Structure formats: C-alpha cells, structure tokens
Amino acid sequence: MTIYKATTIAGSDTSGGAGMEADIKTFQELGVYGTTALTCIVAQNPNDNWAHEIYPIETGVIEKQLATILQGIGCDAIKTGMLGSRDLVELVAETIDKYKLRNVVIDPVMVCKGIDTIMVPEAAAAIKELLVKRALVMTPNLLEATYLADMDGIKTIDDMKQAASVIHDKGCRYVIVKAGDRFPGEEALEIVFDGQKFVEKRHPKITDAYNHGAGCTFSAAITACLAKGMEVTDALETAENFIGPALYRSFRLNQWSGALRHCAWRE
C-alpha cells in the first residue's frame, strides 16, 4: 500500500484550531501521512483576552526540520502557513528549488482574525517576491489578495478576478481568492483562476460558525489531495466538501474562540 505524505511549514496554534494542528488533523482525516516543520509557537493569553503571543523558532532549527523531512523522508506535497520573517521565506524558496518541489501550496498567512493589517510587512513582501512564483496553488483571503496584487482594496467580484489575474501573472499557477463571509449576501464566494478562465465558486454562508483555522484547514485539504495525486480542480472540490461539514459542526472552546470539527465529514 502506498502511503502518501504531506508536509506543512507552519506555526503551532496551541489552542489546536489553526496552524500546524489544523494541518495535520486535516492530513490525517484525508488519509495522508503528515510531517511538520514548525516555524513558531502561538500561545493565547487567557489573562489578556486571548491575545495571540508569537514565539518564533530560529531559522536554523527550521532548516534542520526541513532536512529531516525532505532529505530524510520525502513528501508528495507541501504547504506553508505562518512564516514570520524574510529569512524564513528565503529558506522556504531555497528549499522548494533545492528539492524541486512541485506540489506547493502557499497559504499566504499575513493577517489573523480580527487584525486587519499585515502582521510582518517584511515577510509579506518576501512572500510576494519569492513564493508567488513558486506556488502551484495560492489561497489568499481578500486582504492578502489585495496586498499580493498591489491593489487598494477588493470590494466586488470583478476586483477579486483582477486580483487573481495579477497574482497569476506573478507566476502562481492556480489562484483561489477567498471572500469567505466578507461580502454581503447569502453566499460565501471564491474565485479560482488558472490563467485561462475564472470559476466562481459559491457556497451557502454558514452563519454562526466558529471559523478559526478555516483557512489553514482548507489549504491543508488541498495539499493532502495533491499528495494523493489528484489534479488541482479535483483537490479543490474535495477541500470544499471537507471544510463545509467542519464549519457546520464547529464548536465553542471558550468565550473567545471556537474550532472547526475536522472529523465532521465522516460523521
């Protein structure tokens, strides 16, 4: 039996809903063996309104983890999550080239829920410069897409298409711009662009869901499917079918946060 393997280069969300925890739960659910190169630890402070405190891991240690995985084990697909410095983004770019990685999913984590500004501008600039052109798939939300496409803002579907097109022109093969629940109306929207045609994906908005970790889970599901040899469009379809139930069955953790239910698709 072939065991397919997926790798995530991501931060640890101690609360368990996002980051590498979301990624390996998703890999596991989709039948793929997961490995992790940890970039930082995020602790949430219960004495300070669940404020996210980020503790970075030295780049040299991340390099060691990547050697363990890529030199020592191998992987069929790889994704990135929170990359908090230019140094680290450079390391990821070098690693993609060194190991000739093809199934590369870049989730350009630049903002966290509730914070609408780019967290680390140098890292974001490096992602735009070095990772967009190395990505098979990118999954920006509206803020990230605005930044990556050098736009002033995204307010309409046409704006989303324009952003997807600009990001594609920078070298990424498939761009998925996620509006999530940010647009008014009954539907959550994604625009997918492969350089040829725009596909509008619409899903019923899941109101009242705890969506912490949804972005990580979605890109991890795409990565798991690519690891299994699926085409991008099929991987995307499966990821959508995976995230829907996980959101519907999301649950409260405490007064500040909740989490997706990663096993909901099989219940």
Reduced to 3 states, what is the DSSP secondary structure of residue 193? Answer: strand
**Minimum CB distance to ligand PXL, residue 156 (Å):** 25
Sites for ligand PXL among residues 83-112 (CB under 6 A) = 109, 112
| Residue 215 engages ligand PXL in binding (rule: CB under 6 A) | yes
Number of residue whose CB is nearest ligand PXL: 19
What is the Cα–Cα distance from 11 to 84, expressed in whole angstroms?
A: 9
Instruction: Yes or no: say if 19 and 10 are a contact pair by the CB < 8 Å rule.
Output: yes
| Residue 82 engages ligand PXL in binding (rule: CB under 6 A) | yes
List the one residue from 18, 24, 66, 131 that touches ligand PXL (CB under 6 A). 18
What one-letter code names the amino acid at 220? A
**Binding region for ligand PXL (CB under 6 A) out of 6-14, 86-94, 179-187, 198-206:** 6-14
Q: In what order do the strands lie in the sheet with 137-138?
A: 51-56, 33-45, 5-13, 77-80, 104-106, 137-138, 174-180, 187-193, 198-204
Nearer Cβ to ligand PXL, position 19 or 258? 19
Tally helices (H) and strands (E) across the chain.
8, 11
Bridging pattern class, strands 251-252 and 258-259: antiparallel
What is the Cα–Cα distance from 149 to 133, expressed in whole angstroms?
A: 13
**Minimum CB distance to ligand PXL, residue 212 (Å):** 7
**Minimum CB distance to ligand PXL, residue 155 (Å):** 23
**Binding region for ligand PXL (CB under 6 A) out of 9-17, 66-74, 151-159, 165-173:** 9-17
**Binding region for ligand PXL (CB under 6 A) out of 59-67, 177-185, 208-216, 217-225:** 208-216
What is the Cα–Cα distance from 178 to 194, expressed in whole angstroms?
A: 15
Report the interface residues with ligand PXL, using CB under 6 A: 10-13, 18-19, 42, 52, 81-82, 109, 112, 213, 215-216
